[in-house]
Amino acid sequence: MKVVSAKFVKSAVRLAQYPTDGRPEFAFVGRSNVGKSTLLNMLLNRKGLAKTSKTPGKTQTINFFDVNGHIYFVDLPGYGYAKVSKAAKQRWERVMTDYLRKREPLRLVVQLLDARHEPSDRDHEMLELLDRAEAPTLIVATKVDKLKRAKRDTSLAAIRKSLELDEDALIVPCSALTGEGKRELWRVMDDLT
């Protein structure tokens, strides 16, 4: 899809606040600092779009972006902040579960993982949550430009092993620096639109 327009629509925490027009939705999730805003901006050819909604105190919200008046990108609240209370974690889980279980237009959840690291316990918990919600999921490995070729292959293999993925399961390596992965991600999303 060629992006001709992309704009922030709203922040939501409850089902009643989600858009109601039924357009196909693609959601993005990952631990804080994994490169989610940067990836969203890369996919949308915009610089500060995803960042602008990232105001303090809004970290628990689900942010909707209108793309071409045709689909929504959904920026799900990040996880893995060093200091979160148990109550905040429970709130986050409720917001996520509500969205994942009840969101009919949801076509795909893109789970971001840093290509350089093995998935953390929180990443695993997130993937289990996606699994329990039966949400269709695609793994994206971010910041691959930070890895040399040989290291990159071993890192991706380690991620695959840690997640117990089949050999043919798709992991899309991405870099906002080089633009790698952009075309493939759009191809996957276009196929589901």
- DSSP assignment of 27-55 equals EEE-BTTSSHHHHHHHHTT-SSHHHHT--
Span interacting with ligand GDP, options 14-22, 34-42, 55-63, 165-173, rule CB under 6 A: 34-42
Amino acid type, 160:
R
Check residue 155 for interaction with ligand GDP (CB under 6 A). no
Comparing every residue's Cβ against ligand GDP, the nearest one is: 35
- Binding residues for ligand GDP, total number by CB under 6 A: 16
Nearer to ligand GDP, 105 or 186 (CB): 186
Check residue 37 for interaction with ligand GDP (CB under 6 A). yes
Residue 153, C-beta contacts closer than 8 angstroms, at least 6 positions apart: none
Edge-first strand listing for the sheet containing 106-114: 6-12, 62-67, 71-75, 25-29, 106-114, 137-142, 171-173
Using an 8 Å Cβ cutoff, are 34 and 113 in contact? yes
Q: Segment 169-188, which members bind ligand GDP (CB under 6 A)?
A: 175-177
Kindly state the smallest distance separating residue 60's Cβ from ligand GDP, in Å. 14
Query: What residue ranges bind ligand GDP (CB under 6 A)?
Result: 30, 32-38, 78, 142-143, 145-146, 175-177
